[in-house]
Structure 1
Amino acid sequence: MTRPLTAAAIVLLAALGVPTLGDAQTAPNNADAPIAWSSDDVQYEGDTLTLIGRAELIQGQNRLRADRLAGFSQTSDSRMEATGNVYFVTPDQTIRGDRAVYTTGNDTIVVTGDVILTQGQNVATGSRLTYNTRTESARLEGGSNGRVQGVFYPSSTGN
């Protein structure tokens, strides 16, 4: 990798706001944590950095992984698109899907396809999950049969 590509990657990832991925679930210092990235190949063209093959971004305890991650830095609205075997993992939950788009302007990640959300033993499935990383609010929409499905395990109270 050449020096200009490294500089471009740092500037683009910083502009994308990747530090805000999952800030609400993790330690307050997560936004200051370094961003580690890896992939089998990397391409940089214009305002787009693309990580190809086992692409992964890690910051603090949060991870975004996919077959392909492409970041687009624009003045008012930067975004990261993930395609193929997408996983967004925080200390508390794992979101899996076929495709995801993270938009920094509204702190939202939208995961589509065969979506599976797990938190502990609890599991919910659907076709589209909209998750706000700042507020931790989520909306899961229906799967192949038009319905959201899940299994929840009650907490043990020790009584």
Structure 2
Amino acid sequence: MIKRSFIYSILIAICLPVAAFAQAQVAFGGLKHDSSLPIEISADQLTVDQSSGAATFSGNVVIGQGDMRLSAGKVRVEYATGADTTGEISRLHATGGVTLVNGAEAAEAREAVYTIATGVVVMTGSVILTQGQNALSSDKLTVNLRNGTGQMDGRVKSIIQTEAN
């Protein structure tokens, strides 16, 4: 009898992380987004640095692009260089309590870098991703907004609600 319960315990220990990992992979699908849409930025203050080709928005920064919203304490906007790219934003570097919301999914972190051309957002520092009642946390979240895929790195923890809850 002890043998059978020991075997069941091992099977549960092996299968549980696999199930959690499989479900965690689906959680990024709602973050799919069209990065070619116009970007709207509002903040309490704007500082422009002509020499570096960057602008820094600070204080209650909210950035909108389609249905996606990013909020932070400070966002540095880097513009693309070259004759054909006048005024095009190439990257956004957000710091100070960053929150990214798209539909029913939300991610929080200390900082985030959004590269517009690739549609990739890299969030770092105490990352928490929620989708409905499910939550994942890690040190780093990389999301490809074009195809809705993502990867979490560094001690990933998850809370996944079952249908019974």
Q: What's the TM-score, normalizing by structure 2?
A: 0.69
Q: Deviations over 1:126-151 (max 9, x none)?
A: 00000000011110012xxxx21001
> Structure 1: how far apart are the matches of 2:43 and 2:142?
26
Which is further off, 74-83 or 94-103? 74-83
Query: How large is the Cα RMSD of the aligned pairs?
Result: 2.5
Aligned to 1:8: none
> Structure 1: how far apart are the matches of 2:113 and 2:45?
20
Q: Which runs of 5+ in 2 are unaligned?
A: 1-28, 83-88
Closer, same or farther: CA 118–71 of 1 in aligned 2, 3 Å: same
Higher Cα radius of gyration: 2
Closer, same or farther: CA 136–44 of 1 in aligned 2, 3 Å: same
Q: Does 1:152 align with 2:160?
A: yes
Aligned to 1:89: 101
Letter in 2 for 1:112: T
> Structure 1: how far apart are the matches of 2:123 and 2:32?
18
Aligned residue for 1:98, secondary structure, equals strand
Q: Does 1 or 2 have the higher relative contact order (CA < 8 Å, sep 6+)?
A: 2
Q: Deviations over 1:9-54 (max 9, x none)?
A: xxxxxxxxxxxxx99646x7x955x543211111111211211011
Q: Does 1:41 align with 2:45?
A: yes
Aligned to 1:120: 132
Aligned to 1:134: 146
Which is further off, 58-67 or 80-89? 58-67
Runs of 4+ in 1 over 3 A off after TM superposition: 22-26
Identity %: 33
> Structure 2: how far apart are the matches of 1:67 and 1:136?
26
Q: Which runs of 5+ in 1 are unaligned?
A: 1-21
Closer, same or farther: CA 154–31 of 1 in aligned 2, 3 Å: farther
Q: Report the CA distance between 1:78 and its aligned residue.
A: 1.6
> Structure 2: how far apart are the matches of 1:42 and 1:155?
47
Of residues 70, 80, 84, the one that matches 1:74 is 80
Q: What's the TM-score, normalizing by structure 1?
A: 0.71
Q: Does 1:100 align with 2:112?
A: yes
